Amino acid sequence: MNFAGHYTYWVTIFLMIAGLYIVIARGNLVKKLIGLGIFQTSVYLLYIAPGKLIGGTAPILAESFKTYSNPLPHVLILTAIVVGVATLALGLAIVVRIREAYGSIEEDEILEKDRSEQGDR
């Protein structure tokens, strides 16, 4: 397998796994969102990297240009970035509210508080 030629895929996969691992392994709600952000970023790379041809130009119809890079993935990922920003903003807003309601942003402490509250009833 052509390892060097596929290096963008390796970077993509590394970011994907690292992001998912952070989401699963960390108990801090903000760190989980950071992991989620890294995970989403890997997808941006997955889309954009294959669209680029070395030596390719923007798709301009003219005699002197022969190879074109595909601009469509850029447009798609622009949308995906907007979605990612909105998700992160909403996630952080919910974390702020959680911190106001529970006084903590550590998942196990929050669950512990819920459990002891249920035990009181």
Partner 1 sequence: MISSGEHLPALQVVLPLLAAPLMVLVRRGTFAWLLATAVSWGTLLIAVALAARVREAGPIAYAIGNWPPPWGIEYRVDAVNAYVLVLVSLVASVVAPYARASIAAELPRDQRYLFFTMFSLCLAGLLGMTITGDAFNLFVFLEISSLSTYVLIALGRDRRALLAAYQYLVLGTIGATFYIIGVGLLYLMTGTLNIADLAARLREVHELRPVLAALAFITVGIGLKLAMFPLHFWLPNAYAYAPSAITAFLAATATKVSIYVLLRLYFTVFAVRLVFEQLPMAQVLIALSVLAIVATSLVAVFQRDLKRMFAYSSVAQIGYITLGAALVNEPGLTGAVAHLFNHGLTKGALFLLLGGISLRLGGTGIDRVAGLARTMPLTSLGIVLAGLSLIGIPATAGFISKWYFVLGAIEHGYAWLAVLIVATSLIALAYVWRFVEMAYLREPGPGAANPREAPASMLIPAWIMVAGCIYFGLDTSFPVGGARLAAEVLLGGAR
- Residues lying near partner 1 in the complex (CB under 8 A) are found at 16, 20, 23, 29, 32-33, 36, 39-40, 43, 46-47, 50, 73, 76, 79-80, 83, 86-87, 90-91, 94-95, 97-98, 101-102, 110-111, 114
Task: Tell me how crowded residue 5 is: count the other CB atoms within 10 A of its CB.
Answer: 8
Shortest Cβ 42–partner 1 spacing (Å): 8
Question: What values do phi and psi take at 68, rounded to 5?
Answer: -120, 145
Comparing CB distances to partner 1, the nearer of 63 and 117 is: 117
Nearest to 29 by CA among 104, 118, 80, 102: 104
Comparing CB distances to partner 1, the nearer of 11 and 43 is: 43
Helix (H, G, I), strand (E, B) or coil at 90: helix
Comparing CB distances to partner 1, the nearer of 42 and 64 is: 42
Shortest Cβ 39–partner 1 spacing (Å): 6
CB 84 within 8 A of CB 107: no
Amino acid in position 49 = A
